[in-house]
Amino acid sequence: MKRGFLEKLIERIRLVQPGDVQNYLVEIAREKGFLETIFNAILEGVIVTDPSGRIIYLNRAAAGFFGISVEASLGELLGHAVRGLDFEQLSAGGGVISRDLEVFYPENRHLNFYTVPLMSEDSPDEVVGHAIILRDITQYRRETQETIESERFSALTLLAAGVAHEIGNPLNSLDIHLQLMERRLRKLPSRSRGEFEESINVARQEVKRLDHIITQFLRAIRPQPLTLRPDSLNAIVEESVSFLQAEIRDRDILVEVDLDRSLPTLGVDRDQIKQAFYNIIRNAFQAMKTGGILRIRSGADETHQFISFADSGGGIAPENITRVFEPYFTTKQSGSGLGLLIVRRIVRAHGGEVIIESAPGQGLTVTIRLPSGDRRVRFLEQGSPNEAK
């Protein structure tokens, strides 16, 4: 309560009859309980502090946002109860302050808050406390990010059409003319064509490299129709590892495969899933350089089959883990930044998900989860009829 109210109550206490004191206390308690019920029912968090920053009230929503106890926090300094929330910054300037903040415990969420100074009724220039109002904007930020991502992909799709037209056709023409030059070189004496053959081979390799880049780019952003047939994820893994054996030996990498042989077949597009596995394995090779260990494991739970790829590379820094699916984002000097983007597109088309786990200096684990059976959507638990009204 404000000090002015208490002073007025003390001044008038001598006029209150002894028999009425209990009635007044009951009325005050009832109104206090009523207000607390209201504040605990609202979704916004409310914290009230005294002038020094000690918490004198907080509702359940505020306590839930920060994972703290209402009872244990009363009387605590705000900065002690909520680590990282600097009361001096919140109260600086003496006016209303609005900021966004990210909370990491007990859940990762984004909050918007504004701080309002509470002024004394008797002395308008005297601050008797602060009220902090908190609003959960996690969903809003997520939807905004999804909108930005959608717009980015739309722009990439338009760019892809231009790339395919402006670069693809000249590359085909170059390749044809290089073939014609090779045929003419065969008619020259062998001692005269060695240098020219080497130059033509280099040029053709560069044409192939550019064509591969364009193909990767188009695969990353163009939805590809699925050809679903019953197949074994274990068999696709083994085929992928076998195909890359030459690279495995060249890099001196140990590949440990632990597959659950009881896995049933799954309706997948074999070529696209294989492409996803190639991209993950090659990313792991590049992260580990030479002499690393790649552990591949398969398994299943009640709803999904999964394949996990755990490498012994350097992992990904925490600030970059949320960017690994962005187009052209890469931490490698020679990377295209499209590998994991292609993986996610393929897996999402199958109704699955890609999970990234990283510990800097200890490696990266990429897990592909695919739903058992052709389940592109799932029903949520239905609430009671009253909840929808």
Between CA 385 and CA 218 the distance in angstroms is: 47
The yes-or-no verdict on residue 53 having pLDDT over 70 is yes
Domain co-membership, 68 together with 179: no
Nearest CA among 314, 312, 304 for reference residue 353: 304
Stretch 44-56: mean pLDDT: 88
Task: Supply the CATH number for residue 32's domain.
Answer: 3.30.450.20
- Residue 324 per-residue DSSP state: T
Which whole-number Å values give the CA distances from 1 to 30, 56, 118, 261, in the listed order? 15, 10, 11, 69
The yes-or-no verdict on residue 264 having pLDDT over 80 is yes
Task: Give the domain range for residue 235.
Answer: 229-371
Nearest CA among 324, 376, 316 for reference residue 354: 324
Between CA 193 and CA 189 the distance in angstroms is: 7
pLDDT band for position 386 (50/70/90)?
very low
CB atoms within 10 A of CB 233: 24
**Last residue in a domain, options 221, 239, 269:** 221
Nearest CA among 347, 222, 220, 369 for reference residue 273: 347
Which whole-number Å values give the CA distances from 383 to 42, 139, 206, 270, 388, in the listed order? 21, 21, 60, 39, 8
Give every strand in the sheet of 254-258, ordered side by side. 254-258, 293-300, 304-311, 363-371, 353-359
The reported pLDDT for the residue numbered 376 is 43
The answer to whether the beta carbons of residues 55 and 48 sit under 8 Å apart is yes
Domain co-membership, 278 together with 181: no
The answer to whether the beta carbons of residues 340 and 283 sit under 8 Å apart is yes
Percent of the chain exceeding pLDDT 70 equals: 71
Tens digit of each residue's pLDDT (9 = 90 or more) over 359-385: 767 788 999 999 886 444 444 444 444
Tens digit of each residue's pLDDT (9 = 90 or more) over 266-292: 999 998 899 899 889 988 888 887 788
The reported pLDDT for the residue numbered 383 is 46
Range with the lowest mean pLDDT among 242-246, 314-318, 340-344, 379-383? Answer: 379-383
Nearest CA among 99, 108, 106, 94 for reference residue 135: 99
The yes-or-no verdict on residue 297 having pLDDT over 70 is yes
If you average pLDDT over every residue of the chain, what do you get?
A: 77
**Last residue in a domain, options 139, 159, 190:** 139
Percent of the chain exceeding pLDDT 90 equals: 14
Domain co-membership, 215 together with 233: no
Range with the lowest mean pLDDT among 12-16, 64-68, 159-163, 383-387? Answer: 383-387
The yes-or-no verdict on residue 27 having pLDDT over 70 is no
The yes-or-no verdict on residue 231 having pLDDT over 90 is yes
Task: Write the CB contacts of 203 (distance below 8 Å, at least 6 apart in sequence).
Answer: 174, 178
Domain co-membership, 260 together with 300: yes
The answer to whether the beta carbons of residues 222 and 160 sit under 8 Å apart is yes
The yes-or-no verdict on residue 206 having pLDDT over 90 is no
Between CA 133 and CA 44 the distance in angstroms is: 7
Per mean pLDDT, which of 34-43, 127-136, 297-306 is the most reliable?
297-306
